[in-house]
Structure 1
Amino acid sequence: MSERKRIALLIDCDNVSHNSIEGVLEELAKYGMVNVRHAHGDWNNSSLSGWINRLHPNAIRPMQQFAYTKGKNATDSAMIIDAMDLLYSGSIDAFALMTSDSDFTPLVLRILESGLPVYGFGEKKTPQPFVDACSPFIFTENLAQEEKEKTDNTSTKKAKKSKAELRRDNALVKLLRTAVEQSSEDDGWAHMSHVGHYISNNSSFSSINYGYRKLGDLIRASELFDIEMRNDGSVMYIKDARK
């Protein structure tokens, strides 16, 4: 059994809501152990009061950064320095950045150059360059809503994209079909895990952004592919339905 990744989660509290932190940690648990949890911000600022209430329950360490100069984002600089220190320490296998600020795009590219994955989490206002640099990138609004559903039975479930909506998303259809084609064997059938691996290595895609917890569920809903369950139903294979 391979060792679980050691993940460093760095949070830009100035640019992302505290409402999704539990959902972010739950999502990261799929990839490994989040043994570093740093929340950057000026904790004297009343706007971070919501974050303060989430630190202790989630074992997150607050990293104080005073705003020495008005108009300058000292939090960004401190977070970048923190990330580089962790990178050079050699004690981290992956990074997770929780921010909606595109200024961190060069940091993501630098981490990727060192061979470490970067999982991105930010609000839907996040600029596309930062979204594209991460793999995957998940919108925190989706995770926040899921968290609310667990504690509020009266809330309506987050709407999943319908078959028609999925098929109208040309970029999504192209990504899925390319992934299956590149991962398929000579008979045209592709192992689901190989498809997922191709997608994670070549895009910022996450099925959660479409309302589906698993890629397989999204693929079923799209009805773009034939599906076979093999090995007593434990392994999913898919094939382009056009072929």
Structure 2
Amino acid sequence: MANDVTAKLAVLIDADNARPAIVDGLLAEVAKYGTAHVKRIYGDWTSPNLNGWKSALLDHSIQPMQQFAYTTGKNATDSAMIIDAMDLLYTERFNGFCIVSSDSDFTRLASRIREAGLIVYGFGETKTPKAFVSACDKFIYTEVLVGTEEDETQAAPAPRPATELRGDTRLINLLRNAIAAASDEHGWAALGGVGSILSKRAPDFDSRNYGYPKLSGLIHGIGLFDVEERQFGNAKHLYVRLRGKGK
């Protein structure tokens, strides 16, 4: 269901663990995967801490869900969001869920939704615990969604230099293994296929995390791979292979 613009999505935002600066980028990103039929945000709206969200809710038709903090130290917002998510799941009206939070409390929720056969897109900061990241089909770090006038101090990451990229063992191994898995007998792999494998093996993989808007830019930026453009009808497709491989 990934990248199916007809998919019906439920977007649930934990206001205590997300910033208003991401909202434009967040909804634009959600639109890549489907249509947000439900947009809800959870928090204690009597608290001044959430004042920054209020104009964003009106501009983007996001429904605020009130949840009072009944006990200090206990996050009632998480519980309300989880209960609503399960209610929406049981309606069987949706193809996927977008969970916006950096809180590990949503790990089991993401796993449960996936068990029901639905896609889960997670959105959170880079501090998000790995367990929650891995529980999602795809996880997008919200740092790549900011850079608006409201939050000029946190622009999207600048492109990392080739020497730094090559020194990232996890990144290089991910790319090499994905290319090998998608390659033909000559070592060439369609870049689209490589991207699909990367998403399945590493839900948080995103070329934007390295400062490149597209995977092709990251591949070129590393400089360890051969890239070839091929024409099929009216469309052009990129192919990639490990440098020095094949004939």
Q: TM-score, normalised by structure 2?
A: 0.89
- What are the equivalent positions in structure 2 for 1:23-62 lying under 5 Å apart? 23-62=25-64
Structure 1: unaligned runs, 5 residues or longer: none
Q: 2:14–2:78: 8 Å Cα contact kept in structure 1?
A: yes
Structure 1 residues 242 and 106 mapped into 2: Cα distance closer, same or farther (>3 Å)? farther
Structure 1 residues 105 and 21 mapped into 2: Cα distance closer, same or farther (>3 Å)? same
- 1:123-143 residue CA offsets vs partner (Å, 9 max, x unmatched): 222222212322322221221
Partner of residue 192, structure 2: 193
Q: Give aligned-pair identity as a percent.
A: 48
User: Hey, what's the Cα distance between the residues in 2 that align with 1:195 and 1:28?
Assistant: 22
* 2:145 aligned to which of 128, 143, 146: 143
Runs in 1 of length 4+ with deviation above 6 angstroms? 154-157
Q: 1:37–1:59: 8 Å Cα contact kept in structure 2?
A: yes
Partner of residue 180, structure 1: 179
- 1:104-137 residue CA offsets vs partner (Å, 9 max, x unmatched): 1111111121222211111222222212322322
Structure 1 residues 156 and 3 mapped into 2: Cα distance closer, same or farther (>3 Å)? closer
- Output the amino acid matched with 1:134: C
Q: 2:229–2:238: 8 Å Cα contact kept in structure 1?
A: yes
User: Hey, what's the Cα distance between the residues in 1 that align with 2:6 and 2:20?
Assistant: 26
- What are the equivalent positions in structure 2 for 1:158-169 lying under 5 Å apart? 158-169=157-168
- What are the equivalent positions in structure 2 for 1:11-26 lying under 5 Å apart? 11-26=13-28
Partner of residue 211, structure 2: 211
Task: Select between 103-112 and 130-139 the one with higher mean Cα deviation.
Answer: 130-139
Q: 2:225–2:240: 8 Å Cα contact kept in structure 1?
A: yes
Q: TM-score, normalised by structure 1?
A: 0.91
- Output the amino acid matched with 1:213: P
Q: What secondary structure does 2:32 align onto?
A: coil
- Output the amino acid matched with 1:17: R
Task: Select between 127-136 and 163-172 the one with higher mean Cα deviation.
Answer: 127-136
Displacement of 1:49 in angstroms is 0.4
User: Hey, what's the Cα distance between the residues in 2 that align with 1:113 and 1:120?
Assistant: 16
Displacement of 1:43 in angstroms is 0.7
